[in-house]
Structure 1
Amino acid sequence: MKKTLAFLVFSVPCLVALAQEPLPEKADTSKKDLNEVVVTGTLKEVRRLESPVPVEVYTHSYLRKNPTPNLFEALQNINGVRPQLNCNICNTGDIHINGLEGPYTMVLIDGMPIVSSLSSVYGLSGIPSSLVEQIEIVKGPASSLYGSEAVGGLINVITKKADKAPVFSADVFTTSYQEHNSDIGIRLRPFSGATVLTGINYFKYGNPEDRNHDHFTDVTLQDRISVFQKWDFRRKEGRLFTLGARYMYEDRWGGEMNWNKSYRGGDQVYGESIFTGRWELIGNYQLPVSEKLLFSFSWNRHDQDSRYGTTSYIATQQIAFGQLTWDKQLGAHDLLAGIALRYTFYDDNTPATTRLNQSLNQHTWLPGFFMQDEIRLSDAHRLLAGFRYDHNSVHGSIFTPRAAWKWNIDENNILRLNAGTGFRVVNLFTEDHAALTGARSVEITGRLHPEKTYNINFNYLKKIYTSGQVFIGSETSVFYTHFNNRIIGDFDTDPGKIIYSNLDGYAVSKGISTNIDLTFPAGLKFIVGATYQDVATVEHGRKVQQILTERFSANWAVSYKVKPLKLGIDYTGNLYSPMRLPLAGELDPRKPYSPFWSIQNIQLTYSGFRRFEIYGGIKNLLNWTPNRGNPFIIARTGDPFNKTPDQNNPYQLSFDPSYVYGPNQNIRAFLGLRLTIQ
């Protein structure tokens, strides 16, 4: 607690000293201003209501309703999207969209695919929230425009335009767990015609906790810094030229409470220690010609040095991406065509690059060509047709068509029907850390082939404006995705192994999802979402539900503005139905299914000061943790190196931290300050 108070004592005077003028009244746009939000679901800027592809947009103000130190955690309050922890010790994770696991989700910044493969585990950590304008989510395959990994959907992080960002912004908060987060944004004009926006994020958590008394850390300790800089250049005729770069470094560890770095990689005291260094470069340049030609590029390098007990994982990945698009309006036809080239270098010290996975090369080339035509059939009807052809240097030719139809029944009712295909090239160990932690050995049966999907999505959007100035917005989607060649990690056949192979059958993800927004003139707002899904594999006539996947989920954000007191109240939460869990043996006493569980939070925000606001609240109001009803969470914590004889092991278990389905932090308070200078 002393460190917490010291953090606030340092932060408060710094922010107060800068607060000279009152903040402008803030409008909470969240998700209801459907006519005003610009999206990029079709690889070009259009207004959300005009897009034939359904895109969910979440603004920076929505994410603030439950402040988090990174975007990974911020996604927990988005319907149909779930941050999934994959390890109880290192707390690495991925993003599930409609039940599909992290490797099937592509993450982009400003439309550039800089977060993928190895980077998907850590890429969403450390993106400074001060630079985030909005997050756009497309559910369902988007490979016809974005290529591999965009199978389950994509998450596009849109950063602020440099010329519209505040001159200075700061957001600092701390929790009773002694987690400290600082987010700084600075806008400068170094010379005429150029504007630069710099964001700095620093997160520190260095207070080991063991509240479930298993002698292991409940939450991974982290020390992370990220710096992002974006340049906007003013050019003739308003042509676009932006250039951005980000660097992130993180040191995280978890394990036995008495672990320190002198034990790193040894077999005396168990710990999982991860050093991550990552840099990214992105840019967009509109060519100085009469036609609208845009060249977009990104380049990133990710270096990782990890120790999971005595198992080492040392990996390097580089991805270079370039894309040239031509945008042309010809009468009723809105054409978009492009060529793309993606180069991936990947190397590690695991069997992924040696004898087990023959399909993964160090150097992979993926050139592609895509084209789409959005046809305005009438004022009410639009049809989009497109395709993409890629040639992978390992797997050969891949063809992914796409079609979409949009019907504006009237200004308050819109129907969308989307169908398409997706693909994902083989890239196994770079995402699956379950293969590296614990005592399970890895077995790959045969040569792995690319995964392919077929998807159809029906979307209905309705707006209602009542005479009492109440706004009601609803959006419902029915989705179906069929997988061929699905790569499955089999945890069930042999508790001592993870067996990887292409599924000899098919996999299906299907369900229905609904979002409802209600806005009342008195300052009360409800945003509620719910998803029911069935995610399973079918092999040899036998259907098996996907492990660590819920059938039902819901989330909500209830906000109320007490205008006379300049006080905002936000109550957020989520609810998940039971999911099948990875047991480590027939005698494992842990529950095979999780219970219904929920994380709920409340926040109060006071904006009566000049230029800054203060906020605070409680996270995890129900004090829920996954050890409830279980004798333990991590298997065999008393012998993590499996040294003792079996007679001292009554459940016949090996050490295994993969039994994880939710965050392991108890109820905690938080307090923070935000400052904005326009």
Structure 2
Amino acid sequence: MRKMYVLLAFLLAQISVLAQTGSIRGTVTVKGKPLEFGTAALKGTQYGTTTDEKGIFEIKNVKYGTYQLVISAIGYRNITKSVTISEAKFFQELTLQTEELENSLAEVVVTGTMKEVSKLDSPVPVEIYTPVFFKRNPVPNLFESLQNINGIRPQLNCNVCNTGDIHINGLEGPYTMIMIDGMPIVSGLSTVYGLSGIPSALIERVEIVKGPASTLYGSEAVGGLINVITKKPSSAPLVSADVMATSWAEFNTDLGIKYKLGEKAQALFGLNYFNFQRPTDKNGDGFTDITLQNRISLFNKFSFERKDNRLFTIGGRYVQENRWGGQTQWTPKYRGSNEIYAESIYTKRWEVIGAYQLPIKEKITFQFSANGHNQDSYYGNIPYNAQQYIGFGQFTWDKKAGERHDLLIGTALRYTFYDDNTPATAVDTKNAPSKIILPGIFAQDEIKLNVNNKLLLGLRYDYNSIHGNILTPRLNYKWTSTDKKNVMRLSFGNGYRVANVFTEDHAALTGARKVVFTEELKPERSWNGNLNYVRKFFLSNGSFVSLDGTAFYTFFNNRIIPDYLTDPNKIIYSNLNGNAVSRGISLNVDFSLTNGLKLMAGATAMNVFQREDDGSGKLVKMTQLLTEKFTGVWSVSYAFQRIGLSIDYTGNLYGPMKLPVLGPLDPRPTYSPWWSLQNIQLTKKFNSGLEIYGGVKNLLNFTPTKDAIARAFDPFDKQVTFDAAGQVVATPNNPYALTFDPSYVYAPNQGIRMFAGVRYNLFK
């Protein structure tokens, strides 16, 4: 009997304990959609579960008490909420909403595989940068906005007209393809100037792939590609505006307006206007430190509603720019003369892009683009007039084949017309415009091996009307851990490029050197391997940490490298009799803390060089000009959420790079120094959608040396003596045997300056 009482007392005690527990049940959504397979846990306890496909979770048998409920998922902002389980509240029913993190793995990307997939699922490593990132250091054009992305460097190619291109992992600008909404818009002639004038108010995000992408995108996607994704009219603000000015008298305006055309068509109009008209020479060399510019860009995108949500968009852009740089006393009346030196460029450009999904059961889409570029230029007294027209059309068939195979099959046709007044388009002294027809077919198969492993195989065949058959394969492998916190990607592929040096190398146009071709140039080929590893950490306090590391190696055949050093009066072009290599490692770190502090930092160490036959069969290793061995970037942000104030500190750091000196007597350093551009900004947000921001750019007031332009006082070489072979002779007034040359450039000449601006977004 005694044992019975003891057993009864024990059971009653257990019932009492169970009676002092409750349950927490909730639904988690993101943008109205359920958050699948997220983690719901009570901080500091063993209680936890996951959300189902409807975003629902339930934590049972929770002892009475007060807890911190933490909802977390890879790529989404953590939610922390205090919950109490008591006799009066033994059951908690919650509805919670989270949002995607910047650069999150959950974001949809299209650039790596030419189809919409989440960043986590993409077998190709794709980096995403949203307007939030670019607003931390506001600039008037896309070219400058990329300066705080690890492994990417906007390179100025001329101290006078400030033209430039984008380097990816040390590879020069012509190896980078620039696209708008997946269409090859900025290429060839327009690479130099086309990176300006894209209204930032219309940019949804920028996707970047490092490494060859010729299997999908063809020529020029050798070193990587940058895809500017514009906003959909349906998700854009009704009105958006961003107006900024600097203490150097630069003025920039971005405007976006959404409107309707009937019941089934929406449109988004954008305008960018940039103006700088104050000749400034703070380094005292007699030349403008930065070019004077007057540029307007108009953009309009239409989106049409169709049955079964089929795609139909079409957009257009027009850019007109007048820029000049040179001796500060120059005026337009001296254009083309040999009295006062300047480089004056008038540019007019139009673009059309679109996509139309065919009205059939299969998912077949026709994408198209066309652009025309007209350039009227004078480099001193040397004219350069050029026209380029490109037409592009492409069909893609997106097809699922069973549960494991995801196919993409496509065919493309590209036509390029190029004409100028240089030897590039002259045959036997007669004008012969370049006309290239480039048809191609491609296929890729994304194979799901199992839950954790995925393989991507791709192959492309192109027929170039000048160079013949070109075949480009690719292979990508991705492994994802079961908890999705670890991702490893291995990429291997081939790229090719057909070069036109007059459209890509500004130094060929300055008139300071004679251009020489020693042979008929062949297409460049590259083989690239990348190993990428991503690790996500979710800390117990709701903070988020991400590590992203990559090792890369690119090997070139037939590389075209301009030779500035053999003869200081010439630029000699030929295919490299040897090979070239770009290799290195990069690391990105991303902290997002619950107290409002965000830190993004990255560093890349690389070695870019070429090995050339010295004539005896021995390969001699040479460092590539204007390529740093180390670069670092950072962005530190802190938000005072109660008062709507945030502070951003951004910067970059570059290691020494080899510079194009003018012969053995040139006294200027062969290598640049370590240098850094740093900026700070304060932003005040108001509930009405208004933002006011301001700060300081180039805090350290760094500028290159005063003698970056050789013999700036004699731009037409009137006081230079040449021998019978055309070589410069050292004289008392030219002891270092130099000629006028603006190509010794590694950093912008613009020093410290203040800036201020206003943004406004109006939604319905």
TM-score by length of 1: 0.94
CA deviation after TM superposition for structure 1 residue 33, in Å: 2.4
The equivalent residue for 1:335 is 407
**Distance across 1 between alignment mates of 2:658 and 2:201:** 37
* 1:15 equivalent in structure 2: none
| Inter-partner Cα distance in structure 2 for 1:343 and 1:608 | 49
Deviations 1:242-272 (A, max 9, x none): 0000000000000001000000000000010
Q: 1:184 aligns with which of 255, 262, 272?
A: 255
Contact 1:546 1:580 in 2 (8 A): yes
Residue 637 of structure 1: SS of its match in structure 2?
coil
Q: Secondary structure at the match of 2:398?
A: strand
2:524 aligned residue? 451
Corresponding residue number in structure 1 for 2:696: 618
In structure 2, what is the Cα distance between the partners aligned to 1:357 and 1:219?
Answer: 37
Once residues 108 and 638 of structure 2 are traced to their aligned partners in structure 1, the CA distance between those partners, rounded to angstroms, is 23
Structure 1's 556 and 37: CA in aligned 2 closer, same or farther, altered over 3 A? farther
**Matching residue's letter, 1:313:** Y
Distance 1:661 1:561 in 2: 34
Find the aligned partners of 1:357 and 1:100 in 2 and give their Cα distance. Answer: 34
**Is contact 1:515-1:530 (8 Å) kept?**
yes
Q: Contact 1:40 / 1:46 at 8 angstroms: preserved in 2?
A: no
Q: Does 1:392 align with 2:467?
A: no
1:206 Cα deviation from its structure 2 partner: 0.4
Is residue 229 from structure 1 mapped to residue 300 from structure 2 by the alignment? yes
Q: Which residue identity does 2:736 align to in structure 1?
A: Y
Q: Which of 671, 682, 707 is equivalent to 1:604?
A: 682
Q: Distance in 2 between matches of 1:603 and 1:244?
A: 34
Q: Which has the higher contact order (CA 8 A, sep 6+)?
A: 1
Matching residue of 1:101? 172
| 2:266 pairs with one of 195, 204, 211 | 195
Q: Which residue of structure 1 aligns with residue 421 of structure 2?
A: 349
148, 168, 188: which one pairs with 1:77?
Answer: 148
In structure 1, the gaps of 5 or more residues are 1-26
Q: Which of these residues, 482, 495, 504, is aligned with residue 577 of structure 2?
A: 504
The alpha carbon displacement at 1:55 in A equals 0.3
State the SS of the aligned residue for 1:529: strand
Report the Cα offset of residue 140 of structure 1: 0.2
CA contact 2:111–2:209 (8 Å) conserved in 1: no
Structure 2 stretches lacking a partner, 5+ long: 1-97, 614-618, 722-730
What is the DSSP-based 3-state SS (H/G/I as helix, E as strand, rest coil) of the residue aligned with 2:120? helix
Matched, 1:208 2:279: yes
**Which structure 2 residues correspond to residues 167-566 of structure 1 after superposition, within 5 A?**
167-331=238-402, 332-355=404-427, 362-410=434-482, 411-540=484-613, 541-566=619-644
Q: Distance in 1 between matches of 2:99 and 2:325?
A: 38
Report the Cα distance in structure 2 between the residues aligned to 1:361 and 1:262, rounded to whole angstroms.
31
Secondary structure, aligned partner of 2:561: strand
Is the Cα–Cα contact under 8 Å of residues 29 and 59 in structure 1 kept in the other structure? no
Within-5 A mapping of 1:573-592: 573-592=651-670
- Secondary structure in structure 2 of the residue aligned to 1:243: strand
Return the letter of the residue paired with 2:582. S
- 1:645 to partner: Cα distance: 4.9
Q: After superposition, what is the alpha-carbon deviation per residue over 1:424-463, rounded to whole angstroms, capped at 9, x for unaligned?
A: 0132211111011152111110111000011111100110
Paired amino acid for 2:744: Y
Distance in structure 1 (CA, Å) of the matches to 2:586 and 2:471: 29
SS at match of 2:234: helix
How far apart in 1 are the matches of 2:687 and 2:666?
56
Q: Residue 501 of structure 2 aligns to which amino acid in structure 1?
A: L
- Three-state SS of the structure 1 residue aligned to 2:676 is strand
Matched residue count: 649
Structure 2 length as normaliser, TM-score?
Answer: 0.84
* Residues 287 and 328 in structure 2, CA contact (< 8 A), matched pair in contact too: yes
CA distance in 2, matches of 1:96, 1:149: 13
What corresponds to 1:11 in structure 2? none
In 2, the alpha carbon distance for the partners of 1:217 and 1:329 equals 58
SS, match of residue 76 in structure 1: helix
Matched, 1:163 2:234: yes
Alpha-carbon distance in 1 for matches of 2:475, 2:203: 30
CA distance in 1, matches of 2:529, 2:102: 24
Rounded Cα–Cα distance in structure 2 between residues aligned with 1:615 and 1:399:
50
1:361 is displaced (CA, Å) by 5.7
Q: Give the superposition deviation at 1:581.
A: 0.4
Q: Would the aligned equivalents of 1:28 and 1:61 in 2 still touch at CA under 8 Å?
A: no
The Cα offsets for residues 18-37 of structure 1, whole Å up to 9 and x where unpaired, read as xxxxxxxxx99674422134
**What is the CA–CA distance in structure 1 between the aligned matches of 2:747 and 2:758, rounded to whole Å?**
28
> Residues of 1 paired with 2:310 and 2:100: CA distance?
28
Separation in 1, partners of 2:111, 2:719: 57
Partner SS state of residue 429, structure 1: helix
- CA deviation after TM superposition for structure 1 residue 390, in Å: 0.1
Alignment of 1:40-189 (within 5 A): 40-189=111-260
| Alignment correspondent of 2:713 | 638
**Structure 1 residues 356, 134: CA separation in 2 closer, same or farther (over 3 Å shift)?**
farther
Name the CA distance, whole Å, in 1 between partners of 2:415 and 2:102: 36
Residue deviations 1:68-118, cap 9 Å, x none?
A: 000000000001000000000000000000000111000000000011011
Q: 1:40 Cα deviation (Å)?
A: 2.7
The higher radius of gyration belongs to 2
Residue 736 of structure 2 corresponds to residue 663 of structure 1: no
Aligned: 1:593 with 2:668: no
Query: Given residue 607 of structure 1, which amino acid in structure 2 is its aligned partner?
Result: K
Tell me by how many angstroms 1:650 deviates. 2.2
Give the partner amino acid of 2:399: K
Query: Could you say what secondary structure the match of 1:652 adopts?
Result: coil
Q: 1:356 to 1:452 in 2, by over 3 A?
A: farther
Secondary structure of the structure 1 residue equivalent to 2:504: coil
- Superposed CA deviations along residues 22-59 of structure 1, whole A, max 9, x for unmatched, are xxxxx996744221343431001111000000000001
Whole-Å separation in 2 of the counterparts to 1:48 and 1:147: 23
Q: Which residue of 2 aligns with 1:20?
A: none
Report the AA paired with residue 754 of structure 2.
A
Percent of aligned positions that are identical: 59
Cα distance in structure 2, aligned partners of 1:323 and 1:633:
45
User: d(CA) in 1 for partners of 2:369 and 2:555?
Assistant: 31
- Deviation larger for 29-38 or 313-322: 29-38
**Contact 1:357-1:448 within 8 A present in 2 as well:** no
Tell me by how many angstroms 1:190 deviates. 2.0
- Kindly indicate whether the alpha-carbon contact (under 8 Å) linking 1:356 and 1:444 is maintained by their aligned counterparts in 2: no
Q: Structure 1 counterpart of 2:636, which letter?
A: V
Q: Is the 8 A contact 1:185 1:200 kept in 2?
A: yes
Task: Report if aligned partners of 1:57, 1:135 keep a CA contact under 8 Å in 2.
Answer: yes
How far has the Cα of 1:605 moved from its partner? 0.1
Deviation string 1:175-198 (CA, Å, 9 cap, x unpaired) is 000000000000001211000000
Please give the alpha-carbon distance, in whole angstroms, between the structure 1 residues aligned to 2:427 and 2:752: 46
Distance in structure 1 (CA, Å) of the matches to 2:556 and 2:428: 23
Query: 1:435 aligns to what SS in structure 2?
Result: helix
| Distance (Å, rounded) in 1 between the aligned partners of 2:156 and 2:504 | 12
Equivalent-residue separation in structure 2 for 1:217 and 1:357 (angstroms): 36
CA 30–97 in structure 1, closer or farther in 2 if over 3 Å, else same: farther
Q: Distance in 2 between matches of 1:613 and 1:185?
A: 16
Matched AA of 1:651: Y
Deviation, 1:586, is 1.8
Is residue 29–residue 61 contact of structure 1 (8 Å, CA) maintained in 2? no
